[in-house]
């Protein structure tokens, strides 16, 4: 099964770093967040990736074009203009990089890679990590038999919650339980190829009209994920992910 990763957005909310590189290329623990996302899928044997590039997409292309240099010990003979890989730690990945434009919507990016899709596929965003069990997600999608499955998550609120009655606070929780929160789109989709026919132009956002059509047709299933999930929208988010990685107990590290 192929894995499509949306990696073309402008990342304006984390402009401290995204003015130099695409948001998925911002590093966590010395590796691009995109690498972390791909490692999650690779842990379940999914190694055929299609990356929808856009803003500063050349940074992503150059990274993978020089992947052995980034990931391996090498000996460079300057006089002979040769490079010898001493310890190769490259991944068994096949990566198709598609320039889908700086300003296309998420749906438009999917529409542009339609010619590369050869069946049902996984899709996610390049700026979020989770310990989603991809095997269970795909099995759930196949069992439900709908055109699309989205992973639903309930991230804990960053703010305390209050229960109010007659102008008085009757209950306050500094860190509300995740179970009391609204389910949101956590990415990590499984989509049938036919879903791409719902996208009409490159300006469309997949999360709007296409998903609304799937809902109205009762063709969008949700796989509830109660584990770890974290999107990287701001510099604060990046620092939180860095701290988790530095602790040696990053919840999304499901690979050996």
**Which is nearest to 51 in space by CA: 93, 86, 103?**
93
Residue 255 lies in a domain: no
Q: How confident is the model over 84-104, as a mean pLDDT? A: 88
Residue 80 backbone dihedrals phi, psi, to 5 degrees = -95, -5
For the chain, percent of residues with pLDDT exceeding 90: 75
Question: Is pLDDT above 60 for 178?
Answer: no
Residue in the structure block whose two tokens are 């009757």 = 170
**Sequential DSSP letters for 15-68:** HHHHTTS-GGGSEETTEEHHHHHHHHHHTTT--EEEEEE-TTHHHHHHHHHTHH
Q: The domain spanning residue 30 has which CATH number?
A: 3.90.550.10
Closest by CA position to 124, among listed 56, 212, 218, 223: 223
Average pLDDT of the chain, as a whole number? 91
Number of domains in the chain: 1
Higher pLDDT, residue 178 or 33: 33
* Contact (CB, 8 A) for 214 and 2: no
pLDDT tens for residues 197-233?
999 999 999 999 999 999 999 999 999 999 999 999 9
Is 251 domain-assigned?
A: no
In the predicted structure, residue 70 carries a pLDDT above the cut 70: yes
- Could you tell me the residue range of the domain that residue 18 belongs to? 2-246
Residues 6+ apart with CB under 8 A from 201: 108, 111
| pLDDT mean over 161-171 | 67
Return the residue matching tokens 């040696």. 248
Q: Is a pLDDT exceeding 70 seen at residue 196?
A: yes
Query: HEC string of 130-188?
Result: ECCCHHHHHHHHHHHCCCEEEEEECCCCCCCEEEEECCEEEEEECCCCHHHCCCEECCC
Is the residue at 182 inside a domain?
Answer: yes
Identify the pLDDT of residue 251: 97
- For residue 73, what pLDDT is reported? 83
Q: What is the pTM of this model?
A: 0.89
> Does some domain include residue 191?
yes
Does 202 fall in a domain?
Answer: yes
Check residue 72 and give its pLDDT: 79
């Amino acid at each position: 099964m192929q894995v499509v990763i949306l990696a073309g957005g402008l990342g304006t909310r984390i402009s401290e770093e995204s003015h130099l590189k695409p948001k998925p290329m911002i590093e966590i623990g010395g590796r691009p967040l995109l690498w972390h996302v791909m490692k999650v899928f690779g842990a379940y044997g999914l190694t055929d990736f299609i990356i929808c590039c856009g803003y500063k997409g050349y940074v992503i292309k150059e990274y993978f074009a020089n992947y052995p240099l980034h990931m391996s010990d090498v000996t460079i003979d300057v006089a002979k203009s040769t490079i010898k890989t001493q310890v190769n730690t490259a991944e068994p990945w096949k990566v198709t990089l598609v320039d889908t434009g700086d300003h296309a919507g998420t749906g438009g990016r999917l529409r542009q890679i339609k010619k590369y899709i050869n069946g049902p596929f996984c899709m996610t965003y390049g700026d979020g990590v989770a310990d989603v069990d991809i095997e269970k997600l795909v099995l759930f999608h196949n069992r439900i038999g709908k055109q699309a499955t989205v992973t639903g998550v309930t991230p804990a609120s960053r703010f305390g919650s209050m229960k109010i009655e007659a102008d008085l606070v009757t209950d306050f929780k500094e860190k509300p339980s995740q179970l009391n929160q609204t389910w949101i789109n956590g990415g990590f989709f499984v989509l049938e190829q036919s879903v791409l026919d719902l996208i009409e132009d490159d300006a469309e956002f997949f999360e709007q009209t296409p998903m609304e059509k799937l809902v109205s047709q009762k063709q969008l299933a949700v796989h509830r994920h109660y584990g770890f999930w974290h999107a990287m929208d701001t510099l604060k988010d990046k620092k939180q992910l860095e701290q988790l990685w530095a602790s040696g107990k990053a919840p999304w590290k499901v690979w050996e």
